[in-house]
Structure 1
């Protein structure tokens, strides 16, 4: 179950506005969650959840007009759906959920007037199944449709987009398939793999340039495979190694753009040692230092993927 409260420290973010001046905003957010699973009869259960989000932000647009605003966004979201155990190893489920996500990013439709974005709202329908093939292997599959309003996208005007201006679309719909596979062939050896197909498009908007285009930075196909092995005995007991691959197809640089970021793949690795509640690890990102373009925020703002990086961690479990 998610923690009942989540009250982060206020965030202060600095950014450049469309005139090259600085702007900043403060954001406070609190969220409360309730979740439960109720046994009904036989193998039937009902899962339900409720959340309430409170957000307050203050924005100062430091230009000659000295634009300031404060904005409050409070809302409720819920989730409900049945879970049915066909057998102890085979489960099917469905769910209906609503979405409420405050958005504190200031946006403009004309590059001059700045005002707060409306909260992201929507609903999702999902059906899925999980099957334990053996005690060591399982497969999960899910189909979903997510419909949202007030989604922030890069401005459809290339000039405004280059200046970082955003706009909110009328309605967007994501449909997709998700597959997950987990397998433990030997004690200490784990293999996981996943695949996702996502069709995310604008289906209703006053700006016809946005209609029926795949969302920026959303590939149709993405997948990963990861494997770890931890030595179980001998002088290497506690040592572990892991490696994996993430790959995805090309994606649009903007929602209404014909230009695309190329497909890319990245290899990651892991080394660790566990002893007496301690864990020492080295996480290696982009093992072969592959250069790729990960995402874009507009027609001329493209971000290169993370280069070869090694992060060392020391953890103690009490």
Structure 2
């Protein structure tokens, strides 16, 4: 009787293949499975607030129902913090770049997102998720949906409806005097996307977050490549927004440099004309979509959300 001896390298190879198979085979997608979704909440909110994002999550799962595998759509509502209070406070006082790094780690370590996901940002969570798309291309973000995001930043007070506009401008100048101090940029989230149209050069030089992801400091080719790899970006603007100043920032517009009255839209902006984010090609490829809805900040009708967001960009996509 002849004996068969297995070499040590062969045995090691078999063991490694087995380990890899066990590790990844359970995560592989099946045909007809919903593409998972990542949420990022806005200022003053949290991942799992039963009155906001948790409610939206449940509505989406009820609307779509089970996929062909009998499973509800998987939604990871990003939690940046160890508790409800800490997460809410981090939306004000945790450096945005640190938040992006933590979000990227959460997404990368979530096995259910391994084969790609759609992203829905609410208010400031929108520009944060765009930073995730630009900085962390793996796993792949497919569609980015921005609900009232401030992609050119803000220069105004929430709900500043004072009859004398000079009052609001004076308060803005007081805020702006400290917005670009290094310790303020390091710790105050809203300062990191504060955009002063009266002093564009200081904004570009000292903004630690927004000026970077908008490629206004220098051109980061990876940001362009990663953004262009998205299937679609949907920008939702609220026509009666009293929270975001100016509301046109939700469509990538902003105050024309040197004043705070007239607005320059995206197409006439330096960012677009110089193609600092590669948006010209995305527009040509039909990847940019602009929706407007009547109402104040994040005040949308559920039927509108289903017909304009969920059905075109979430329901029609399966792995």
Q: Which TM-score applies when normalising by structure 1? A: 0.26
Could you say which structure has the higher helix fraction? 2
Could you say which structure has the higher strand fraction? 1
Higher relative contact order (CA 8 A, sep 6+): 2
Q: Which TM-score applies when normalising by structure 2? A: 0.26
